[in-house]
Chains A and B, each alone.
Chain A
Amino acid sequence: MKHTLIHLNSSPYSSLACKEGLDLALVLATFEQPVDLCLSGAALALLTDNQEPTAEQGKNLHKLLAGLEFYDIENIYIEKNHSWLEDNPTWQGVQPLNGDEWQTMFSQYQQVFRF
């Protein structure tokens, strides 16, 4: 059984990449494969609370976050020191890593898929 990291790096509203990355994470978890998530770049927007996108703007993927623990997806990492995250109300289920920990994290998985 391989431990997988899904790295979300795309904006949840500029393409389907975030959604399709999360879909893969959920399917891996459904098949009882260990999977963790990490978010960087524009994908961090996924964490912002009180999102109310219209149908044209895209699906509200933020709502999926609360359900991740039911799939046993418990490790969701971000890099520390994002002033944007500190200034906005965001989902608290993430584990912030410092720069070194963030770099080291990627080598701890047998496979990393980026979306």
Chain B
Amino acid sequence: MQYTLLITGSPYQSKACHTALRFIRAALNKYPNSIKGVFFYEDAVLIGNQTAQPPRDEINLTKAWQEIAEQHSVPLYLCIAAAVRRGIINESESRRYELEQHTLAEHFQLEGLGTLVDLINSTNKVIQFR
């Protein structure tokens, strides 16, 4: 059984990113190949902002997700339209918009909703966290 996680809840206004993190850790712990990918949509894309600085006595959610990607080779996709609208921009988008900086954190990648459709069709189940 392979899952795709669709996360739509803001990391600051919901527990979606936190709960999904607990789920993915549990799933990967028991079945190492059980997660095909994670797709962040709506305000959940804010997780991929490399310039966000959480207080030091709180969880660094971006870093926690980066560790998942690094340790388990799980791709972390951010919806490109939702991300760019919210200022989460990679190098190529930065050039396209003639900006001087980019803000996309390492291990996250910008992809269109077509990638989500592909994930939907190639995994057994999609679980939404909102």
A residues near B (Cβ < 8 Å) are 1-2, 4, 16-17, 20, 23-24, 27-28, 31, 33, 111, 113-115
Contact = CB atoms under 8 A, between A and B. Distances in A.
A16 B121 contact: no
A20 B85 CA distance: 12
Contacts of A115: 8, 42
B113 A113 contact: no
B69 to A, nearest CB: 23
B2 interface: no
Q: 7 shortest A-B CB distances, which residue pairs?
A: A27-B113, A31-B117, A20-B42, A113-B128, A111-B126, A24-B113, A28-B117
Interface in B37-91: 41-42, 81-82, 85
B6 interface: yes
Interface residues on B, range: 10 to 19
Contact of A114 (B112, B116, B125, B130): B130
Interface string B106-130: 0000001110110011000110101
A16 B42 contact: yes
A5 to B, nearest CB: 12
A114 B7 CA distance: 11
A71 B121 CA distance: 19
Contact of B116 (A16, A17, A24): A24
9 contacts: A16-B42, A24-B41, A24-B116, A27-B113, A27-B117, A33-B120, A113-B128, A115-B8, A115-B42
Contact of A17 (B42, B85, B120): B42
